[in-house]
Amino acid sequence: MTVLLEVTNLRTEFSARAGLVRAVDGVSLQISRGECLGVVGESGSGKSVTFASIMGLVRPPGRVTQGTIFFDGCDLRGMSPEEMRAVRGRDIAMTMQDALTALNPALTVGEQLAEVLIAHDETLPTGRAARHNAIKDRCVEMLGLVGIPSPDSRLRQYPHEFSGGMRQRIMIAIALACRPKLLIADEPTTALDVTIQAQVLELISDIRAQMGMAVALITHDLGVVAEHCDRVMVMYAGQVVEEGPTDDVIGHPRHPYTRGLLASIPRPAMRGQPLTPIVGQVPNLMGLAPQCRFHSRCPLAQPSCLVEVPMLPVGPGRRARCLRLEETA
Amino acid sequence: MSLSRLLERLLQLIPVLLGVSAIAFLMMALTPGDPVQIMIGDQSITPEQEAELRRGLGLDRPLLERFFIFLRNALQFDFGTSFYHRRPVSDVIAERLPATIELSLVALIVALVTAIPLGVLAAIRKNSILDRLATVGSLLGVSLPGFWFGILLIMLFAVHLQILPVSGRIGYSSEVPTITGFLLIDTLLHRDLAAFGDALRHILLPAITLGLPMTAILMRVTRASMLEVLRQDYVTFAEAKGLSRRRVLFRHALKNALIPTVSVAAIETGSLLGGNMIVEAVFGWPGLGRLVVESIFLRNYPLVQAAVLLYAVTYVLLNFVADILYTILNPRVKL
């Protein structure tokens, strides 16, 4: 598989009144064509900011200060805002956590779907009527693809006239309208009921297989990752702490944080026993010393951990950011 | 808004108008000063003549009876005879009303076309020099008294630069036969461009003066709601779709940001009525505001009462319009 997205040493900082917050610190990642990468981490670990940085959607006071982002052979950081705009929505698309807030309440679903096509699709006919019909056909097709019944009449409706699951499907339809090479799905199921969650994930998987599109699935649900992702990347406090093939990482986690995450998931076999939470809190991202960030919460921590820890190889296609890897082997 | 809600709003009008009528009536009756004495002035007349005059105006009857007569007649759109003009109040008001409506509308347009772009710009360039200037400007706009600002404008543009006229609706040289009473429209209907330009030059300063506080308020509302909207997920999502910045700002953000602005504008239009009295006095604008002020001094009861009622109806109707506009702009609220 060829590499579609390659990010190296990405750093994104937010300047706050009290100082500089390094929300993303030295993140490197790769996504191959057609691959599904799961990105896991608790709130504030930098998952969303990493991908907002890739899409060029970090707003002031935030700023990408370092690193390279290559997508499909193009240097995204070197692009002008106008070139970047053309990539967004066409080659890299994104869905957001809550479709209710991501869809514009004052515009019809049809308009919100059509505008992506108008912005990017150069194959549309130029004649007024033909163009209008082509756009309409594509909109109907997309809504049908994500399983909205009678899409024709529903194009004229507003987001609030749909159920939560339907809205999520519409948002996915909008993201996929231009058949992007990469879909960034930011917590696609968090705002949904459990039954709908499975449907939406199935939908994304199906379309991914059909279109041969790569997916970055941002979530804090390791169960979702286990079921849908080829590879997984675990983030903690702005850094990648472990990455590798999903089965390996979940079956045999090497970083103490990944182990903690897995231990805090309820399992049928552990019924009646208390869950094991990770004690302590995520460190404040402001002015962190160059040392292991999980140190204060880590059961394996030693004084020798108070140094900057690089990503270390732990087997084929696997790396982890820990000095105590022998102890987790 | 459903039909029943519409009816409900219309029914609410009844107690409001009754209350306003009673207050207007009582205020005038309780205000010191006797219209008959004011009419007599320095002339010497006999007590019989004075009593006759009083009877003719209906002022010899008890207060309560006068109120009920007023109500009964008002229900038939008969507001009595102006003490001063000796003509039906409705005629006198109808004569002056177009000038006031014209001035208010132009003031509203001035306010909208300056406030909305400024508010949007201030929000997009938050904390820039432009934003700070607009914020300070809007503070001044609401704090500066209209009469003072009007005089300042006259001094600058009419006296010092001599590019705009001091007062009135149109120059003496222009003859415009009345069709609608709105000079800007009448001049165009007569294809008299020179007169149209003249009328436009006359209305400019009073309209700016009248519209200033409203501009300031609308600017702040637009800025605040635009800032709020720009933080919303749907703006980020629109950007993630690769739409042009223009489309994100105007189609996605502004359409939502304008919902509060339009509601406030409709309600604030009512406040233009109050501002009219001062601005018309400063600019010698022959409108209703000036007529009402004169009538209060003359204790011209019927005219003041009719005008107050008119103001009240306008205010309530504007609130009504605000509601309707709200439902049009906001599809989540059903009509």
The structural domains of chain B, ordered by start, are 95-299+314-329 (1.10.3720.10)
State the Cα–Cα distance between residues A141 and A94, nearest whole angstrom.
19
Partners of A102 on chain B (C-beta within 8 Å) are 233-234, 236-237
Cβ pair A119:B329 closer than 8 A: no
Cβ pair A89:B232 closer than 8 A: no
| Best of B125, B228, B237 to mutate (most A CBs within 10 Å, chain A) | B237
Tokens of A113: 């779907």
Q: Which residues contact B240 (CB under 8 A, 6 or more apart)?
A: A55, A57, A88, A89, A93, A94, A96
Evaluate if residue B110 carries a pLDDT over 50: yes
The alpha carbon of residue B242 is apart from the nearest alpha carbon of chain A, in Å, by 5
Is B255 touching A (CB cutoff 8 A)? yes
Question: Which residue is it, tokens 């999980």?
Answer: A294
Nearest 5°: the CA angle A303, A309, A311 is 145
Of residues B214, B221, B224, B222, the one with CA closest to residue B268 = B214
Partners of A170 on chain B (C-beta within 8 Å) are none
Average pLDDT for B129-153: 87
Evaluate if residue B134 carries a pLDDT over 80: yes
> For chain A, where are the alpha helices, taking DSSP H only?
47-54, 81-87, 99-102, 109-120, 128-145, 151-154, 164-176, 194-211, 222-228, 246-251, 256-263, 325-328
Q: What percent of chain B has pLDDT over 90?
A: 19
Evaluate if residue B227 carries a pLDDT over 90: yes
Work out the pLDDT band at B1, boundaries 50, 70, 90.
Answer: low
Is the separation of the CB atoms in B301 and B35 below 8 Å? yes
Higher pLDDT, B126 or B38: B126
Partners of B241 on chain A (C-beta within 8 Å) are 88-89, 93, 115-116, 119, 174-175
Higher pLDDT, A53 or B42: A53
Q: What pLDDT, on a 0 to 100 scale, did the predictor assign at position B334?
A: 59
Q: What pLDDT, on a 0 to 100 scale, did the predictor assign at position A1?
A: 66
Q: Which of A113-122, A262-271, B93-102, B200-209 has the lowest mean pLDDT?
A: A262-271
Higher pLDDT, A241 or B330: A241
* Interface pTM, i.e. ipTM: 0.89
The alpha carbon of residue B330 is apart from the nearest alpha carbon of chain A, in Å, by 6
Cut 0.95: pTM above it: no
Interface of B with A in 88-127 (CB under 8 A): none
Partners of B127 on chain A (C-beta within 8 Å) are none
Partners of B259 on chain A (C-beta within 8 Å) are 106
CA-nearest residue to A58 within chain B is B236
Beta carbons within 10 angstroms of residue A304's beta carbon: 9
pLDDT mean by block of 10 residues, chain A; 329 residues? 89 87 90 92 88 90 91 90 91 90 92 91 83 90 86 90 89 90 88 79 87 90 88 92 92 89 79 77 77 85 84 88 83
Cβ pair A104:B243 closer than 8 A: no
N-to-C CA span, chain B: 4
Tokens of A119: 């912005």
Average pLDDT for B108-133: 92
Cβ pair A115:B241 closer than 8 A: yes
Partners of B247 on chain A (C-beta within 8 Å) are 115, 119
Tokens of A109: 């679903």
Q: What pLDDT, on a 0 to 100 scale, did the predictor assign at position B148?
A: 87
To which CATH superfamily is domain A3-91+180-328 assigned? P-loop containing nucleotide triphosphate hydrolases (3.40.50.300)
Delimiting residues of CATH 3.40.50.300 domain(s) in chain A: 3-91+180-328
Evaluate if residue B189 carries a pLDDT over 70: yes
Cβ pair A105:B244 closer than 8 A: no
Q: What pLDDT, on a 0 to 100 scale, did the predictor assign at position B335?
A: 47
Q: What pLDDT, on a 0 to 100 scale, did the predictor assign at position B49?
A: 82
Interface of B with A in 208-247 (CB under 8 A): 232-234, 236-245, 247
Parallel/antiparallel/unpaired status of strands A62-71 and A182-186: unpaired
Cβ pair A101:B329 closer than 8 A: no
Q: What pLDDT, on a 0 to 100 scale, did the predictor assign at position B71?
A: 84
Cβ pair A93:B256 closer than 8 A: no
Higher pLDDT, B36 or B294: B294
State the Cα–Cα distance between residues A191 and B183, nearest whole angstrom.
59
Of residues A293, A215, A296, the one with CA closest to residue A41 = A293
Evaluate if residue B2 carries a pLDDT over 70: no
The alpha carbon of residue A130 is apart from the nearest alpha carbon of chain B, in Å, by 22
